[in-house]
Chains A and B, each alone.
Chain A
Amino acid sequence: MAVLVYTENWDGRFKKSTYELVSYAKAISDMMETTVVALSIGPVEDKELEKLGDYGVDKIIKISDDLYSVLDNQVYTRVIADVAENEDANVILLSHNNTGKALAPRLSVRLKAGLVTAVIKVPSSVEPFTVCKKVFSGKGFVHLVVLSEKKVLTLSKNSFELVEKKTKPGIEEYSPDFTLGDFKTRVEKVDKQTGKLILTDAELVVSGGRGMKSPDNWGPIEELADLLGAATACSRPVSDEGWRPHEEHTGQTGKVIAPNLYIAVGISGAIQHLAGISSSKCIVAINTDPDAPIFEAADYGIVGDAHKVLPELITAVKEYKSEN
């Protein structure tokens, strides 16, 4: 028996969420008294792979063939399912991100393994296997039991702390026998902004709403975000109006994020917006309307005009930075 964790890489690098997932895998494997096997697909240097050993991985299986650089959900599912069979893995874990959401359901069917997506804590018991996740876009929680012998879970970002546990995992190369013809997904072009902080990865986020009044007023939001090392986001009306790109839309139908700090400027806090940000560890609201619902979700609030408050906040952050 083993816990298999799919450790996705981005241009050969792991992210914090990868280590969160590995820490989570270790916690489950301790409860089940078994081992953690990590699977890495695509070219990753051994030096990077060894970092997984900081969080309790017992064994690493790598597929370094360049053929597997393109995500084909069908091929990946077969590869992960084969490794799960070979390693006799009963629990298969993926991050709850684009890739995890694409693969976990397919794996569930292929392995006839009960699926729970976006889990937020370790199982309350492993026999029966009982886990908790958010439902109704954060307006409730559900406790579920997975009835099948095998289980597939995806873990929500920023919901499980990193736990260091040094191990010396062996690295094994695995060569599945797929050919280019098996890859039905043909990627013609990749458009990627490099150097820009990715909203769903960001620990700090500064977000603007309709209260900013015009796309020309985004300067202070961007300046504050820059100073803090934060990503920028926006509410739905702002992206619908084309003031900001759709990738920044945060809310129920847009991005659901879980940063450590979310600063909402000129956002009234419609229930659909709150659904996308309610997992933030700390929420700051700046709004002219003291009755705006955002203040019910916020930890700290300032009633005031963004155009006056933001410059002061920027000055205060600059002072803080020069002191620290």
Chain B
Amino acid sequence: MKIIVCLGNVPDTTTKIKFTDDNKKFDSDGVQWVINPWDELALTRAMELKEDSNNSVNEITVITVGTLGTEPTIRKALAIGADNAVRIDAEPIDSYFVAFQLAEYLKNEEEDYIVFAGIESSDYNGSAVGSMLAEFLNLSSISAVSSLEMQGDQIKIFREIDGGHEVVSMSAPFVTVVQKGIAIDPRIPAMRGIMMARKKPLNVVAAVECAPLTEMLSFELPQPKPPCKMIDADNAKELIDLLQNEAKIL
């Protein structure tokens, strides 16, 4: 069985966000690009599953929709341990466009597979691509997944619900949309992995014509917050008064 991990290429989460071109564009000047944090956890879990010889996972493919500039991020995923990569050569316009491209590529997949997609991307926070892909492919999808275990062909998934979780059993193919908990610490590429990654296949595929359904018009930065009102450590009572009478929360 194959695990396909959808990769997003996003600004490092500590990036100071700026906009340019009359606030119409994200200013990518000086930005460090990384694997979207949830996708990195998905890849980590995929690696763990492949390494466990009790499972039938024999291949991990990472797939992304992006221009040439995303290749360092893809190489990082290969260095972490993915076996091969696919880059669909296009600027990701909106979630619908991205999911459509992924579906066009995956619809010809013959082997049994599971798709891992992160719950959201840390740039546009869409929370959409994984579930959209499932609908395009007419596959089941399980979302809010915080754990996935395999026993032979049986797959046990923990799906978060309010105040707890459900244990769901699935069999391939399906799409799983994963979140915190699927893996704890993302893997860091080792030197050997980085060397090997150079030789692993990275297939570049042409995009298919698809009109997006949304368009970003302009960006805005949040209003600066008024300065924090400091309260003396010996005067906790004052805080309660402020919360009651000024903030009107209590």
Interface residues of A (CB under 8 A from B): 10, 72-74, 77, 96-98, 101-106, 108-110, 112-118, 130, 133-148, 154, 184-194, 196, 198, 200-201, 204, 228, 240, 246-247, 249, 252-254, 260-261, 271-272, 275, 278, 281-282, 284-285, 295-305, 308-309, 312-313, 315-317, 319-320
Contacts and interface: CB of A to CB of B under 8 A. Distances in A.
B33 to A, nearest CB: 14
Q: 9 smallest A-B Cβ distances: which pairs? A: A304-B233, A114-B213, A102-B143, A192-B164, A105-B131, A109-B135, A312-B236, A105-B128, A106-B135
Given A113-B213, A146-B213, A261 B37 contact: no
Contacts of A102: 131, 141, 143-144, 177
Interface stretch (B81-89, B106-114, B199-207, B239-247): B239-247
Contacts of B142: 73, 185
A84 to B, nearest CB: 14
12 contacts: A105-B132, A106-B132, A109-B132, A109-B135, A136-B122, A139-B222, A252-B37, A253-B180, A271-B13, A299-B229, A301-B228, A316-B240
Contact of A73 (B140, B166, B167, B243): B140
B168 A188 contact: yes
B196 interface: no
B167 to A, nearest CB: 4
B161 A108 contact: no
Contact of B239 (A138, A194, A204, A302): A302
Interface string B207-219: 0000111111111
Contacts, number: 270
A319 B237 CA distance: 9
Contact of A285 (B19, B37, B217, B228): B228
B162 A98 contact: yes
A22 B122 CA distance: 28
B42 to A, nearest CB: 12
A108 B132 contact: yes
B125 interface: yes
A144 B14 CA distance: 25
B181 interface: yes
Contacts of A201: 162
Interface residues on B, range: 35 or more
A159 B216 CA distance: 21
B163 A192 contact: yes
A309 B236 contact: yes
B138 to A, nearest CB: 8
Contacts of B116: none
Nearest to A188: B167
Contacts of B13: 137, 252, 271-272, 275
A3 to B, nearest CB: 18
Chain A interface main SS type: mixed
Interface in B119-166: 119, 122-132, 134-136, 138-144, 146, 156, 160-166
B22 interface: no
A39 B162 CA distance: 20
B10 to A, nearest CB: 9
Nearest to B11: A136
Given A74-B141, A252-B37, A105 B213 contact: no
Given A108-B135, A317-B240, 6 more contacts: A101-B131, A102-B141, A115-B213, A253-B41, A301-B229, A316-B240
A72 B140 contact: yes
Nearest to B136: A109
A145 B239 contact: no
Given A115-B95, A309-B233, A135 B219 contact: yes
B231 A308 contact: no
B17 interface: yes
A73 B135 CA distance: 9
Contact of B131 (A96, A106, A249, A298): A106
Contacts of A133: 125
A252 B233 CA distance: 30
Nearest to A130: B217
